[in-house]
Amino acid sequence: MELAYYSDYAVRLVNTEEPTRNKDSLTSVEAVRELFGPNQQAARRATDTDVTRFRSVRARLRAVFEAADSGDETLAVDLLNSLMLEFPVSPQISGHETRDADGKPDWHMHLADHPSNATAGYAAIAAMGLAFHLTSYGVDRLGLCEASPCRNAYLDTSTNRSRRYCSDRCATRANVAAYRARKRLETERAAETGRSAETAQVTTPRTER
């Protein structure tokens, strides 16, 4: 499993809440377990107490994205370092059961957590994964969707650092809104130009013959 994969843990957790829409899907232990994806062993450790703990970690991870999105690199790094200090992990080389063409293990780096609870395990992996993404691609690759009122978190992996939205759906909605705004402005300007022309005709004195 590539280390970059773990950064998705942070995005998944942050996006369980949509503050501007007053929506929160992190309301049960089942919702917490779903965040672990295929890591069912870790998911089974979750209890009802982890719902509140996960929400606390979510707020801190969102703060990292907000700092990065506003251009405050130092704050984003400080917040992320604070999380990693509180929720440490141990990098390990792992081969699992995967074999290459020669029958050898497919060795790769793996983040092993030693949590006292499900929240600690998830937070450790999410923070470290986000840190790897930040240091590999840059702080400006952590963003919040520009399609109002979404503000979901995303990781920009585009080649030209051009991503601005969390999904194609939000990108389409934003483009449609921008198009409609331009057409509305054009209509208003045309109407204003027409009124100005009519006013000019009324106020311009006729030349006496």
pLDDT score at 98? 63
- Least confident range of 60-74, 89-103, 126-140: 89-103
The residues facing 143 across adjacent strands are: 154
For residues 95 and 113, give the distance between their C-alpha atoms in angstroms, rounded to a whole number. 17
Per-residue confidence (pLDDT) for residue 209, from 0 to 100: 47
Give the pLDDT score at 208.
52
Q: Per the structure block, which two tokens stand in for 105?
A: 């293990």
Residue 209 tokens, joined: 């013959």
Predicted confidence at residue 94, as pLDDT, reads: 77
Q: Which amino acid is at 28?
A: S
d(CA 160, CA 117): 40
Q: What is the mean pLDDT of the chain?
A: 86
pLDDT greater at residue 4 or residue 187: 187
DSSP letters for 152-174? -EEE---TTS----SSHHHHHHH
Task: State pTM to two decimals.
Answer: 0.78
Q: What is the pLDDT of residues 151-166, one digit of tens each?
A: 999 999 888 888 999 9
Residue 61 pLDDT level (bands cut at 50, 70, 90): very high
* Confidence class for position 20, pLDDT limits 50, 70, 90: confident
Residue 206, pLDDT above cutoff 70: no
- At 108 the pLDDT is 76
Query: 206 is written with which tokens?
Result: 């006729």
| Token representation of residue 85 | 């200090």
Q: What is the pLDDT of residue 182?
A: 79
